[in-house]
Amino acid sequence: MSAAAAAGTWKLGDLEVNRIGYGAMRLTGNGMMGNSDGTPIDRDVAVGLLHSAFEQGVNHVDTAAFYFSPLRSANELINRALSSWSGDVVVVTKVGPARDSSGEWLYAVRPDQLRGQVEENLRQLGRDHLDVVNLRLGGPRTASVAEHFGALAELREAGLIRHLGLSAVLPGHVAEAQKIAPVVCVQNSYGLDWRRADESGLVDLCGEQGIAFVPFFAVSGVRREAAAGQEHDARVHSIARAHHATPAQVRLAWTLHRGPHVLAIPGTTNPAHLAENIAAGTLRLTEEELAALDKPDEGTVSSFPEQPGSAQAV
């Protein structure tokens, strides 16, 4: 059994993936707030990192056409890695947010503009269809997803997309989309310090309907696009010591313990951190440890606004 398979598998429609995946945003050298002044990762190093993830059993990669910096594109790097890899890898991308060629964020796109975004992902990834496309609009405050999701459903019927998902939504959006086409995954910010998806019932709703719930910022929490800082939670430190694990592994393990339908897509450019993230799937927390972590810490954010329509689209 590969390391990434230790936490089990889940199906995105008819595509079975290991529950530990990889988020490609950090491969570009910038976060979604445009902080792209850092030295970008070398292309060959990036491809080697992706191959290392695949070798450890990662077969689910999250990306987007708007994951780019002045010198790097996440989709281009994934394309390079997959062109020299013989195994099956499910690539999940997202549409809705858009950036111009200089990296400036644009206003929310119209439904008729989504085909162009889908085709741009197809070109960058070098594919004739996309495995999964998540629709992300302005966050949970968006009144309706029907028009945009309907446009993607038409592209699914045309064969450009295999499966559809949603991002940054509430349960009502899921119900609305399900009436149009099957939803195979929901991607929202969620973690120990960021539990709005518990308050809304979204995590449990996805489990009841057989939909994958895919948290982003599961490790960085309220730091969002920024790299995870020094661990502030004494409970996490204590449990990490007991398991000879890292705090990040405990955070990922807690997330995976929320249900067999919950996946993880931590991103990193550090090979050691990559191996640690994947190994988090082997960490088995006790009932007492889970109960301790389930009690909100003083730093836990529940009703923190998503700031829809901003560059916080991942």
Residues with a known catalytic role: 67
Size of the chain in residues: 314
Sheet harboring 183-189: ordered strands across?
Answer: 22-23, 60-62, 90-95, 130-136, 161-167, 183-189, 212-216
Q: What are phi and psi of 206, to 5 degrees?
A: -60, -45
Buried-exposed string 245-272: b where 16+ CB fall within 10 A, e elsewhere: bbbbbbbbbbbbbbeebbbbbbbbbeee
Residue 119 CB: number of other CB atoms within 10 A?
14
Instruction: Report the alpha-carbon angle 208-209-210, nearest 5.
Output: 95
Instruction: Report the alpha-carbon angle 277-279-283, nearest 5.
Output: 110
- Based on its alpha-carbon atoms, the radius of gyration of the chain, rounded to whole angstroms, reads 18
Q: Which is nearest to 67 in space by CA: 110, 23, 108?
A: 23
Structure tokens at 184: 């195979």
Residue 236: CB partners within 8 Å, gap ≥ 6?
Answer: 192, 247, 250, 251, 293
Q: Which helix (H) or strand (E) holds 92?
A: strand 90-95
Rounded Cα–Cα distance for residues 139 and 143 (Å): 9
